[in-house]
Chains A and B, each alone.
Chain A
Amino acid sequence: MKTTLSLGAMVSLALMAGASSLASAEAAAQGVDVAVASSDGIRSFNAEDVPTFDIAEDGTVDWPTFSGYRRYQSECHVCHGPDGMGSSYAPALKDSVMRIDYYTFLETIANGKQEVGAAKTLVMPAFGTNANVMCYVDDIWTYLRARGTGALDRGRPAKRADKSPEYAEVEKTCME
């Protein structure tokens, strides 16, 4: 819990708008904007049109963020550890996404990253041609932001929204 909000303010926020808004308030305190400002029927966006998660009062996670959980555990997990927690050699992405912006995130995934020195060898491959990653990069982003802000705990989200027809259509086109 952040100290910038009084407990009373927190409680009223939670009562008014549910858990997601509470997390948004916390996130705002951490300097990242994850509040839902709009939706295109596929996913939600913040005021700057950056994808964001939408977790309902009862904990139901929006489909794209749930999809991000699945894709993360498959594509990213073998280096970055379970639940965005980091491994013995790759950084904890749940923390990284609180420091870097959406566009840096996209750039790093598409082009990879190398920091090779005497003490460490950090090498991330370029995923730009990998449909299993690139078709879901916004999903992975919102999942990690949900983890980073504390809106989502470790493990598999217990409740999720269903995949929308719009999402399914875009997914199909992308994966073909």
Chain B
Amino acid sequence: MKMLKTGLVATLLLSSAPVFANDSVLKATDDPKQWAIQTGDYANTRYSELNQITRENVGKLQVAWTFSTGVLRGHEGSPLVVDGIMYVHTPFPNNVYALDLANDGKILWRYEPQQNPDVIGVMCCDTVNRGVAYADGMIFLHQADTTVVALDAKSGEVKWTVQNGDPAKGETNTATVLPVKDKLLVGISGGEFGVRGHVTAYDMKTGEQVWRAYSTGPDAEMLVDPEKTMVLGKPVGADSSIKSWEGDQWQIGGGTTWGWYSYDPDLNLVYYGTGNPSTWNPSQRPGDNKWSMTIMARDADTGMAKWMYQKTPHDEWDYDGVNENILVDQEIDGQMRKLLVNLDRNGFGYTLDRETGELLVAKKYDPAVNWATEVVMDKESDQYGRPQVVAQYSTAQNGEDTNTTGVCPAALGSKDQQPASFSPKTGLVYVPTNHVCMDYEPYRVSYSAGQPYVGATLSMYPAPNSHGGMGNFIAWDATKGEIKWSLPEQFSVWSGALATAGDVVFYGTLEGYLKAIDAETGELLYRFKTPSGVIGNVMTYEFNGKQYVGVLSGVGGWAGIGLAAGLTNPNEGLGAVGGYAALSDYTQLGGQLTVFALPD
């Protein structure tokens, strides 16, 4: 959490302008007693300096209190804690509750928006919402129907609202927002509906739009400078996106922006990932489909792209590239570097220089990954930075109406949005992962606005010749690209991790367990079964001198769709059908917050 602090001081001294990295956010995220934005800090480390709960005493953890959200669908994200108030959000209808921690969680105010339920039908994969953000005495919410709302943190009064997209075209929202300086950065969902992705900055005080950067299309609309925007050390050149699509397909090309955003106040750069190109049928969209599947680094003030790196050119598997970019300062080859760590859906763990976009490490973080042999690291090669696709697993080379079998990972990715955590104490990244493979058969689809635009049939199953489970929780050394240890899990791990200065790492499981493990060894130290499967992220805070750990239960999301009925492997014959665990045998719907603490 402190990593960026020194840099901030330098910025403060040098700058005379009054607009800094948002002071209130930095102040709140620098205070480990609070949890002010979903990612814990701007760097997305999800690391807390709190150390009352340690690997020695975490086994004594108890449930301190609970809160029912009153909503049944999938609960992603986490509560916030700022100035003695806890803010709890829900999936659609996107209610927000402010709970008074000094008064046993009494509800101080509630915000219950009226949204047209039609939006539910155009949300792929459940009506999840990944939570609110705090800045400047306000709580910011981006609703399912793409209404962005600023609420007074103390009273819940609506300060302003703005419409970010059009649900009639399939534009919806599931993500949180990121307050940076005097702006609020906001993304969009709808990659399965042919939406053209974008990121938009709104004035934090008024809700007025300041800039919008599209993921595809003309340079001017993408906020790309052909000379100054860099790709792997070279200027990107003119019309890089348009040249990589056939005709005007970029207009319905996807590249949505529903992941987590990070920010480096020193460099004044915002980082995020763009999602899959639409449709899932690669033969219908020849070309690299830029800049879908891309890590973007943009100037926070102007939105101009500083550098870009496309992880999966011409996606053939729905390896939706939105996963979080964790900003860490670590040594590589004896040199301290400003790094960006990205564990992509495609199964490669990338480490880049976050100032220049130079690619330093690209290694598989699940040994099952087979769609590509490697990412070429030789700067002289014309394949530099590109994954080397294995023909057998190429759904484009095998073509439309052909069932490509045994591709690892599945479309869920080796990891989906569930965010990892970085501990500066151990230097390791703790990653919730999927261990699932798939068969993928693309075929032709036609586009109509506001309707699904998918174009592939998938069937998924646990990674063959492995432990039979559908997930792993791993410790990853991002400087080397090595798995330090890996804990098998029966189901995909769909919960965001939390690492703490107490040498404990927390995560939730789809059966509903909150687990605490040793940050060094991965040894299980504590577990408790909450009322429903956990797809939320673990957070921690301190109140009245006591450390608490909180997590939302409420199974759903992609996991609730893909795993509810259990997976089958048609390749293993009829005998195997139903042989894999069905999530529905373990848990039921229901939104609840569970807060843990040590006994007094």
* Chain A residues with a Cβ under 8 A of chain B: 69-71, 73-75, 77-79, 81-83, 85-89, 92, 112, 114, 116, 119-121, 123-125, 127, 129-133, 153-156, 158, 175
Cβ contacts under 8 Å, A175 to chain B: 444, 446
Cβ contacts under 8 Å, B280 to chain A: 74
| B341 interface residue per 8 A CB criterion | no
| B443 interface residue per 8 A CB criterion | yes
What are 18 contact pairs spanning A and B, CB under 8 A? A70-B441, A74-B452, A74-B455, A74-B456, A78-B452, A81-B562, A86-B564, A87-B561, A88-B589, A89-B72, A121-B93, A123-B117, A125-B118, A125-B451, A130-B452, A154-B577, A155-B568, A156-B457
Q: Are the C-beta atoms of B118 and A123 separated by less than 8 Å?
A: yes
Q: Are the C-beta atoms of B568 and A120 separated by less than 8 Å?
A: no
Closest to A127 in B: B451
Q: Are the C-beta atoms of B589 and A131 separated by less than 8 Å?
A: no
The answer to whether residues A132 and B446 also contact, given A69-B457, A88-B556 and a CB cut-off of 8 A, is yes
Q: Are the C-beta atoms of B577 and A132 separated by less than 8 Å?
A: no
Q: Are the C-beta atoms of A88 and B451 separated by less than 8 Å?
A: no
Cβ contacts under 8 Å, B456 to chain A: 74
Q: 0/1 per residue, B559-599, Cβ < 8 Å to A?
A: 01110111111100010011000000000010000000000
Q: Are the C-beta atoms of B564 and A73 separated by less than 8 Å?
A: no
Cβ contacts under 8 Å, B451 to chain A: 125, 127, 129-130, 132-133
Whole-angstrom distance between the alpha carbons of A115 and B95 in the complex?
19
Q: Which B402-460 residues have C-beta < 8 A from chain A?
A: 403, 439, 441, 443-446, 448, 450-460
Q: Are the C-beta atoms of B564 and A81 separated by less than 8 Å?
A: yes
The winner among A71, A81, A89, A120 for most chain B CB atoms within 10 A is: A89
Q: Are the C-beta atoms of B589 and A89 separated by less than 8 Å?
A: yes
Cβ contacts under 8 Å, B121 to chain A: 112, 123-125
**Interface SS of B by simple majority:** loop
Q: Which B543-567 residues have C-beta < 8 A from chain A?
A: 555-556, 560-562, 564-567
Apart from A88-B561, A92-B565, A131-B446, list 5 A-B contacts with CB within 8 A: A74-B455, A87-B561, A119-B72, A121-B120, A132-B452
Whole-angstrom distance between the alpha carbons of A78 and B443 in the complex?
17
Q: Are the C-beta atoms of A82 and B459 separated by less than 8 Å?
A: yes
Q: Are the C-beta atoms of B564 and A85 separated by less than 8 Å?
A: yes
Whole-angstrom distance between the alpha carbons of A158 and B453 in the complex?
26
What's the minimum C-beta distance from B189 to chain A, rounded to whole angstroms?
13
Q: Which 3 A-B pairs have the closest CB atoms?
A: A88-B560, A125-B121, A85-B565
| B124 interface residue per 8 A CB criterion | yes
What's the minimum C-beta distance from B18 to chain A, rounded to whole angstroms?
45
What's the minimum C-beta distance from A150 to chain B, rounded to whole angstroms?
12
Q: Are the C-beta atoms of A82 and B460 separated by less than 8 Å?
A: yes
Selected from A70, A88, A154, A158, the residue in CB contact (under 8 A) with B568 is: A154
Whole-angstrom distance between the alpha carbons of A9 and B73 in the complex?
46
Cβ contacts under 8 Å, B496 to chain A: none
Q: Are the C-beta atoms of A123 and B120 separated by less than 8 Å?
A: yes
Closest to B583 in A: A88
Q: Are the C-beta atoms of A156 and B564 separated by less than 8 Å?
A: no
Cβ contacts under 8 Å, A74 to chain B: 280, 443, 445, 452, 454-457
Whole-angstrom distance between the alpha carbons of A69 and B73 in the complex?
27
Whole-angstrom distance between the alpha carbons of A85 and B460 in the complex?
14
Cβ contacts under 8 Å, B459 to chain A: 73, 82, 155-156
Q: Are the C-beta atoms of A154 and B578 separated by less than 8 Å?
A: yes
Q: 0/1 per residue, B185-206, Cβ < 8 Å to A?
A: 0000000100000000000000
Cβ contacts under 8 Å, B446 to chain A: 131-132, 175
Selected from A73, A120, A123, the residue in CB contact (under 8 A) with B72 is: A120
What's the minimum C-beta distance from A167 to chain B, rounded to whole angstroms?
13
Whole-angstrom distance between the alpha carbons of A132 and B441 in the complex?
15
Whole-angstrom distance between the alpha carbons of A112 and B450 in the complex?
14
What's the minimum C-beta distance from A120 to chain B, rounded to whole angstroms?
7
Q: Are the C-beta atoms of A156 and B125 separated by less than 8 Å?
A: no
Cβ contacts under 8 Å, B574 to chain A: 153
Q: Are the C-beta atoms of B117 and A78 separated by less than 8 Å?
A: no
Q: 0/1 per residue, B92-130, Cβ < 8 Å to A?
A: 110000000000000000000000011011101111000
The answer to whether residues A86 and B565 also contact, given A78-B125, A119-B72, A121-B73 and a CB cut-off of 8 A, is yes
| B74 interface residue per 8 A CB criterion | yes
Cβ contacts under 8 Å, A114 to chain B: 117
Whole-angstrom distance between the alpha carbons of A156 and B402 in the complex?
12
Whole-angstrom distance between the alpha carbons of A69 and B536 in the complex?
32
Q: Are the C-beta atoms of B445 and A88 separated by less than 8 Å?
A: no
Q: Are the C-beta atoms of A130 and B120 separated by less than 8 Å?
A: no
The answer to whether residues A83 and B568 also contact, given A74-B445, A119-B72 and a CB cut-off of 8 A, is yes
Q: Are the C-beta atoms of A156 and B118 separated by less than 8 Å?
A: no
Cβ contacts under 8 Å, B441 to chain A: 70, 156
Whole-angstrom distance between the alpha carbons of A119 and B26 in the complex?
39
Closest to B451 in A: A130
Q: Are the C-beta atoms of A129 and B448 separated by less than 8 Å?
A: yes
The answer to whether residues A89 and B126 also contact, given A81-B561, A81-B565, A123-B117 and a CB cut-off of 8 A, is yes
Q: Are the C-beta atoms of B127 and A156 separated by less than 8 Å?
A: no
Cβ contacts under 8 Å, B560 to chain A: 87-89
Whole-angstrom distance between the alpha carbons of A125 and B172 in the complex?
14
Closest to B533 in A: A88
Closest to A80 in B: B561
Whole-angstrom distance between the alpha carbons of A120 and B578 in the complex?
28
Q: Are the C-beta atoms of B117 and A116 separated by less than 8 Å?
A: yes
Whole-angstrom distance between the alpha carbons of A73 and B566 in the complex?
15
The answer to whether residues A131 and B448 also contact, given A154-B578, A156-B459, A158-B570 and a CB cut-off of 8 A, is yes
Closest to A74 in B: B454
What's the minimum C-beta distance from B444 to chain A, rounded to whole angstroms?
8
Whole-angstrom distance between the alpha carbons of A89 and B533 in the complex?
14
The winner among A92, A112, A156 for most chain B CB atoms within 10 A is: A156
What's the minimum C-beta distance from A58 to chain B, rounded to whole angstroms?
14
Q: Are the C-beta atoms of B192 and A78 separated by less than 8 Å?
A: yes
Q: Are the C-beta atoms of B126 and A75 separated by less than 8 Å?
A: no
Whole-angstrom distance between the alpha carbons of A125 and B119 in the complex?
9
Cβ contacts under 8 Å, A88 to chain B: 73-74, 126, 555-556, 560-561, 564, 589
Cβ contacts under 8 Å, B566 to chain A: 85
Cβ contacts under 8 Å, A158 to chain B: 570
Q: 0/1 per residue, B117-155, Cβ < 8 Å to A?
A: 110111011110000000000000000000000000000
Cβ contacts under 8 Å, A156 to chain B: 403, 439, 441, 457, 459, 570
The answer to whether residues A125 and B448 also contact, given A81-B561, A81-B564 and a CB cut-off of 8 A, is no
Cβ contacts under 8 Å, A133 to chain B: 451
What's the minimum C-beta distance from B379 to chain A, rounded to whole angstroms?
40
The winner among A123, A125, A155 for most chain B CB atoms within 10 A is: A155
Whole-angstrom distance between the alpha carbons of A73 and B439 in the complex?
12
Cβ contacts under 8 Å, B460 to chain A: 82
